[in-house]
Amino acid sequence: MEEKRDIRRLTLQQIKEAFTTANMQAFRAKQVYEWLWKKGARTFSEMTNLSIETRQWLEENFTFFQVNILSQQTSSDGTIKLAFKLHDGAVVEGVLIPTETRMTACVSSQVGCSLSCAFCATGFLKRQRNLEPSEIYDQVWLIDKLAKETYQIPLSNIVFMGMGEPLLNYNNVLAGIDRITSPDGLGMSPQRITVSTAGVAKMIKKLADDNVRFNLALSLHAANNTKRSAIMPINDSNPLEDLIEALNYFYAKTKNRITLEYAVMNDTNDGIEEADELVRFAKKVPCKVNLIEYNAIDLADFKSSGEDKIVKFAQYIDSKGIIVNIRRSRGKDIDAACGQLANKNQE
């Protein structure tokens, strides 16, 4: 028996062709496509404007892999961490981060991660596979639904800062974003989406060549090659000089200013020398700097710099004419904060 195709891997045209080949009305394909990407149907049986016979035919000929919420935890600050179970039993995590001005979804792009950043819990997991576009879409759909149910406010922003390196799952991430931003998908603005990378220079250039309209963030964390390589092995093959060139190429093509993310770690990257290195890097790229409170993990010895140190660090950068913001950690008490996603609590 022929293996069923995953219907969400098909284009609208391919679904039309399947209907035509089966001597069924081709216009029904558009209705199916709407159910898949605009209305977020979870099963064929939910497609109620199709006849029972059509739904049965879909069931017999196609699969419909679902992403389901395995568990959720709510932080004292209102942040909600979700463990998503995929069709093959793999688990990824996502986070809903509510603030007074925005409702943000933090989503994953891979099961695990291959980059082994020394300070990040996900970096200690083995990379199992890339997420499909539909699995990226489903995370956003489910978090948006949760935001509406819990806070009566829809998602306003999406950040690809969960598990995995988005630019090592390039095609699927861009296809997922296309479904999220398309008028026949969720219709969200690409300007409300930020893709965060540990720094894959050639793929940053590819983003520029593909003329993407979403925002780009670089997880920098050190602006000195020796120091950065010590905590982020990817820097060995993508040194700061290559990243500066790639980021300027990206800006020249897209006119989108880059965000530099910098988790401030005690006695690791929080001295005046490191601040000065960050300033020198930032002056070579059209950017702003987000300083992130580091969140300690069990697997590493790094500690957060105290409030006073972070403020002092920020003031120094600001005094040099660089736009800088301090990002407070959310969801620390449920391991949902930046760098803490590691599938610890889904059992």
**What pLDDT does 125 receive?**
75
Does CATH place domain 68-334 in 3.20.20.70?
Answer: yes
* More confident of the two residues 336 and 110: 110
Neighbours of 65 (CB within 10 A): 15
User: Is 297 or 113 the better-scoring residue by pLDDT?
Assistant: 113
- The mean pLDDT of 113-135, rounded to a whole number, is 83
For 228, phi and psi rounded to 5 degrees? -70, -40
Question: Taking all residues of the chain, what is their mean pLDDT, rounded to a whole number?
Answer: 91
In contact, 173 and 195? CB cutoff 8 Å: yes
The yes-or-no verdict on residue 341 having pLDDT over 80 is no
- Rounded distance, CA 163 to CA 298, Å? 17
Q: Average pLDDT, stretch 178-204?
A: 97
The span from the CA of 133 to the CA of 172, in Å, is 5
Given a cut of 70, whether residue 340 has pLDDT beyond it is no
Q: Fold identical between 5-63 and 68-334?
A: no
Q: Is pLDDT at 8 greater than 60 in this prediction?
A: yes
Active-site annotation holder among 17, 93, 132, 241: 93
Strand partners, 111: 129
Rounded to 5 degrees, φ, ψ at 193 are: -115, 135
For residue 33, is pLDDT > 70?
yes
Cα 202 off chain centre by: 19
Distance, in Å, from the CA atom of 198 to the CA atom of 207, rounded to the nearest integer, reads 14
Q: Which tokens is 179 given?
A: 């479904």
- Report the alpha-carbon distance of residue 181 to residue 277 in Å, rounded: 37
- Taking only the tens place, the pLDDT of each residue in 145-165 is 999 999 999 999 999 999 999
Q: pLDDT at residue 2 above 80?
A: no
Percent of the chain whose pLDDT exceeds 90: 80
Furthest-apart CA atoms within the chain: distance in Å: 71
Tens of pLDDT, residues 50-105:
999 999 999 999 998 989 999 999 988 899 999 999 999 999 999 999 998 899 99
With bands split at pLDDT 50, 70 and 90, how would you rate the model's confidence at 226? very high
Catalytic residue check, 338: yes
pLDDT at residue 243 above 60?
yes
Is 117 part of the annotated catalytic residue set?
no
What is the reported pLDDT for 331?
57
- Per-domain boundaries in the chain: 5-63, 68-334
Strands (E), 20-171: 62-63, 68-74, 80-85, 91-98, 103-106, 110-111, 129-130, 157-160
Give the pLDDT confidence score for residue 346 in this predicted structure: 42
Catalytic residue among 17, 113, 338, 347: 338
Q: Which of 21-35, 301-315, 323-337 has the highest mean pLDDT?
A: 21-35
b/e burial code for range 158-167 (CB count within 10 A of at least 16 → b) = bbbbbbbbbb
Per-residue model confidence (pLDDT) at position 329: 67
E-assigned strand segments in the chain: 5-6, 62-63, 68-74, 80-85, 91-98, 103-106, 110-111, 129-130, 157-160, 193-197, 215-219, 258-264, 287-293, 324-327
- Tokens representing 51 are 């006849």
Count of beta carbons in the 10 Å neighbourhood of residue 305: 22
Q: Give me the CATH topology for the region 5-63.
A: DNA polymerase; domain 1 (1.10.150)
